[in-house]
Structure 1
Amino acid sequence: MLKSVRVLAATLACLVTPIVATAQDVNLLSRDGSISISGNFLSFDGEFYRVETDLGVLTVDSSGVLCEGPGCPDLDGYYAQIRMSGDTKGTRVLLPALITAFALRNGYTVATSPLSETQRSMILTDAENDLTVGEFLLSDTSNAEGFADLVSENTDMVLTLRKVAPMEMALAFEAGVGDLSDPLRARVVALDGLVPVVSRSNIVHGLSLSDLSAIYRGQMTNWQEIGGAEAPIVAHLMRDDLQDGSEFRRMILGHGVQIAEGTVTLHDRYDSLVAAIEQDPYALGLGRMSEGGTVKPVGLSGACGFEARAAASDIKSEDYPLTRPVFLYTPARRLPTLAREFLSFVVSPAAQIVVARTDFVDQGVDELSFRDQGRRFANAISHAGEEITLEDLQSVTGTLQGAKRLTLGFRFEGGSTTLDAQSRSNVHLLAELLEAGVYDGQALTFAGFSDGQGRASINAALSKRRAEAVLKAVRQALGDAFEADRVTLRATGFGEAMPLACDDVEWGRSLNRRVEVWVKSQS
């Protein structure tokens, strides 16, 4: 009997999670009576039971067993219950918009009701058959609390504006949630940007990432040091931005660096941070493009004269250094059918139309004309030197003139040839557009660029290899069924000929190492 149970456990799909009851005893008996599994009932998703047993957590197909005991769910009255937790703005604005659109797309009506100040319920109903098909339970928490909920199995999905931190990843793996570093566990559903903000009365209009690092490390304390008034800098920060997976840690403060006690005011709510900056002409904070507020955004600058400002097109293409993908993390267990259908919807082009109507940045693909790139060409000309010649610039111009740049940027994880999370999402998005025939009869050029470190000839070869790697990833996403003659796909490399930012800082070099996609009619 024990051997039979182990065989069954080994063949079961990896789990489930909707309606979660207080742990109660159940006995799952195979219909021929040969196998019996006893334990504490955890959840039921309409198809599979999830039970905690002496052998661990097992997931059992309900069609093959009978359920006995006080913990057994009412199969006749079942509907999927999907719990979602995470970033407050995302759970209050983005998720409700996506859930509503998903419901309407499937012919369901939606009834939203508050459960508490931080929780709400969205019930989806098939009005034609007067049948409740599912309920989404949304909890306004934070990025950190969302991951904690996932580890403790108090949620089924986490909406977060940062990657999972190493400690959270370890706890999740230990708890049986799965490897959250696996790309299958995280979907990019929207984009946002981290933006330095000051009072509207502050005369400072630009800061470098180096300036921000010095301020938050307590090494720069007076506005006069960066062209402002003779006054102390009062720094503010969202507490969650101190987590290791945040863009603030990666791009500004550094991993493992501690903020000196008393030098920065930490906030748990974004409206608290904005209010503090509004009321203090000498305050500085890190805001979000999605949140806004009556504060002044500050551009990012480099020593060589480049400047970057948060704009939707630059967020989409990752030309803005503090771009923040909005992730939807899920556990490595089986979710209800309704949840799986919702997850497929949120990464579709139709969902991005919905995202565009919110305060977040969508991943919909825009086309930027060659003429829109004037500033970039001016920068290229002004920074040309011995290794970047007029002939090199003419090569770029000759190849790209008459084409339009897509707002699909491709960049790689630091020190590797692995595409970052936003770029992996862009690969599938571009593949979907190609399969849909959006670019039939046109030529797509994957143009690789590099930073200016090292010899120009080596950089040119390296940039072409990166372009070829992205092209290969897109072709793999298309599959063998795609008719190759519908569109021309080619890769080329221009090396360091078109810098986006200064090479004197790491964030500038990371921006310059990129692959762009340009589209041009073949007629």
Structure 2
Amino acid sequence: MPRLPTLLLCLLPLMAMAEPGALRIHGSNTIGAALAPALVQGMLQAQGATAITRLPGAQANETEIHAHSHDGQPIRVEIAAHGSSTGFSDLGDGTADIAAASRPVSDDETQRLQGLGDLRSAASEQVIGLDGVAVIVHPGNRLQQMTTEELARVFSGQIQRWEQLGVPGGPIRLYSRDSRSGTFETFKALVLSPLHLELAPQAQRFESADALAAQVLADPQAIGFSSLATTHDAKVLAIAEGEAAAMLPTPARVASEDYPLSRRLYFYLPTNPTAQAQALAEFAQSPAGQTIVAAQGFVSQQVKAQPVVDQPDMPPAYRALVGQAQRLNVNFRFQQGSASLDNKALRDVQRVVEYLRQAGKLNDKAVLVGFGDPKETPGRAALLSRLRAMAVRRELARHGVEAREVTGLGDELPVAGNHQQQGRLRNQRVEVWVY
């Protein structure tokens, strides 16, 4: 009998998991602050739930949503937005049903959580939207653009005055997300790590993206980085990487992942998710879910066609497309070291097919253009880029699309530098153009 309290304590996590109508989403502040609550509310409305209420949780950056299902059963959703790494930890110890992450799962996390299944499988890794890590300064700052190398030198403390960047302003004050944040992990991976640099110790750290943006707005000497959805009225700088031109994080540039600091927003589910976790992931991927993603200030994965402005460095074949066709706002990308489409690309195939079907362009209207990184062997870059485009053609053909043309332009028109692996991977892409 004395053992009963101990036994009950051991059973509490299991009892919480078994609670009907419960859903626990832990992780990214970028997702959890507003996007996850909005997606949950949208899903519940689509399910016919009633009495949907949203309340603050027990701690800062936590939210609870309560409702009743269409048959009167209580529903409770708990959202804890303390950083992407906390989502994976909580998924592993059974206190979360979904890990929300603004960065991909790491090798260490994948290994540690292998008991939940392969988190990198297409079923577990769900890209729910796109974002750009925006570099923000005070509206009065005269600076217009920076390179990723300059960014690294600023945030590591090597550049400490605005005058070193060609504008007045005096000492630079640094504002960064905290170490648990997926936004920080993305910035570190894309900006600091390629140059083997660390964040300067004098940088002020924030768990909340909104708090960081507010501080930048109040400080004329500030520079920070945040999600597109939380720049508020701060000035956003254009960013250049390698040989590519400087780009602002416009929706089109982020949707195609051409912007240097583009990133994906994820839900990660175990192999055997709860019914509500699976339902939320499917709703987030739906047109209704993607509309909510866009309404919350992020970039949706809805396919659109857009004209492209002619540029003098464009190859003749590409310039012909620019003059006669429109480019879709999606780029197909591939698994590292492979011609196999990655998880996002596999879902994008379905989205592109649906767009072409609705536009009446399934047959002989789409052109696939492959790109890659430089190779030592002459002609190899062009060959590999064409093979990637052909891999996309095969996937589209399985869904009834007959491409008009497939071409490979090799290492032309890079969107990133080729001196680092991450840049070479971004250059390995396939565009879709439609007549």
- The bucket for the TM-score relative to the shorter chain is 0.7 to 0.9
Q: Aligned to 1:116, which of 27, 50, 58?
A: 58
SS at structure 2 position matched to 1:274? helix
Amino acid at match of 1:249: K
Superposed CA offset, 1:331-383 (max 9, x none): 233413x33233222212232122222211111111112xx332xx3332xxx
Superposed CA offset, 1:385-442 (max 9, x none): xxxxxxxx33333456422211111223555435445434423433454577764455
Q: Which residue of 1 aligns with 2:309?
A: 373
CA 1:119 to 1:41, structure 2 compared with 1: closer, same or farther past 3 Å?
closer
1-structure distance, mates of 2:431, 2:226: 28
Q: Which residue of 1 aligns with 2:301?
A: 363
1-structure distance, mates of 2:82, 2:372: 40
2-structure distance, mates of 1:253, 1:414: 21
- Give yes or no for the alignment of 1:231 onto 2:170: yes
CA contact (8 A) 1:411 1:423 kept: yes
CA 1:500 to 1:416, structure 2 compared with 1: closer, same or farther past 3 Å?
same
- Give yes or no for the alignment of 1:138 onto 2:138: no
CA contact (8 A) 1:186 1:327 kept: yes
- Give yes or no for the alignment of 1:411 onto 2:333: yes
Q: Aligned to 2:229, which of 275, 290, 293?
A: 290
- Give yes or no for the alignment of 1:164 onto 2:86: no
CA 1:304 to 1:326, structure 2 compared with 1: closer, same or farther past 3 Å?
closer
SS at structure 1 position matched to 2:279? helix
Q: Which residue of 2 aligns with 1:299?
A: 238
1-structure distance, mates of 2:413, 2:198: 36
Structure 2: runs of 5+ lacking an equivalent: none
Q: Which residue of 2 aligns with 1:218?
A: 157
Q: Aligned to 1:262, which of 201, 206, 213?
A: 201
CA contact (8 A) 2:29 2:181 kept: no
SS at structure 2 position matched to 1:307? coil
CA contact (8 A) 1:209 1:300 kept: yes
Higher strand fraction (1 or 2): 1
RMSD: 3.3
CA 1:119 to 1:284, structure 2 compared with 1: closer, same or farther past 3 Å?
closer
CA contact (8 A) 2:169 2:221 kept: no
1-structure distance, mates of 2:370, 2:240: 24
CA 1:436 to 1:503, structure 2 compared with 1: closer, same or farther past 3 Å?
same
Superposed CA offset, 1:13-44 (max 9, x none): xxxxxxxxx9857xxxxxxxxxxxxx958647
CA 1:285 to 1:113, structure 2 compared with 1: closer, same or farther past 3 Å?
closer
1-structure distance, mates of 2:341, 2:138: 37
Q: Which residue of 1 aligns with 2:410?
A: 495
- Give yes or no for the alignment of 1:469 onto 2:403: no
Amino acid at match of 1:379: D
CA 1:299 to 1:348, structure 2 compared with 1: closer, same or farther past 3 Å?
same
- Indicate the larger mover: 163-172 or 449-458: 449-458
CA 1:244 to 1:366, structure 2 compared with 1: closer, same or farther past 3 Å?
closer
CA contact (8 A) 1:166 1:245 kept: no
- Give yes or no for the alignment of 1:351 onto 2:289: yes
CA 1:293 to 1:334, structure 2 compared with 1: closer, same or farther past 3 Å?
closer
- Give yes or no for the alignment of 1:423 onto 2:345: yes
CA 1:324 to 1:395, structure 2 compared with 1: closer, same or farther past 3 Å?
closer
2-structure distance, mates of 1:438, 1:248: 41
SS at structure 2 position matched to 1:201? coil
CA contact (8 A) 1:85 1:140 kept: yes
Cα distance, 1:241 vs structure 2 = 6.9
Q: Which has the higher contact order (CA 8 A, sep 6+)?
A: 2
1-structure distance, mates of 2:263, 2:63: 26
SS at structure 2 position matched to 1:228? coil
CA contact (8 A) 1:411 1:515 kept: yes
CA 1:334 to 1:497, structure 2 compared with 1: closer, same or farther past 3 Å?
closer
CA 1:119 to 1:452, structure 2 compared with 1: closer, same or farther past 3 Å?
closer
Amino acid at match of 2:204: T
TM-score, structure 2 as length reference: 0.85
- Give yes or no for the alignment of 1:314 onto 2:314: no
Q: How many residues align?
A: 428
CA contact (8 A) 2:66 2:75 kept: yes
Q: How does 1:79-94 map to 2 (within 5 A)?
A: 79-94=20-35
Structure 1: runs of 5+ lacking an equivalent: 1-21, 26-38, 51-72, 381-392, 479-483
Cα distance, 1:95 vs structure 2 = 1.9
TM-score, structure 1 as length reference: 0.72
Q: Which residue of 1 aligns with 2:433?
A: 518
2-structure distance, mates of 1:334, 1:452: 42
Q: Which residue of 1 aligns with 2:268?
A: 329
CA 1:260 to 1:300, structure 2 compared with 1: closer, same or farther past 3 Å?
closer
Amino acid at match of 1:518: W
Q: Aligned to 1:447, which of 355, 369, 372?
A: 369
Amino acid at match of 2:432: V
Q: Aligned to 1:402, which of 318, 324, 332?
A: 324
Amino acid at match of 1:205: Q
CA contact (8 A) 2:30 2:183 kept: no
SS at structure 2 position matched to 1:240? coil
CA 1:414 to 1:219, structure 2 compared with 1: closer, same or farther past 3 Å?
farther
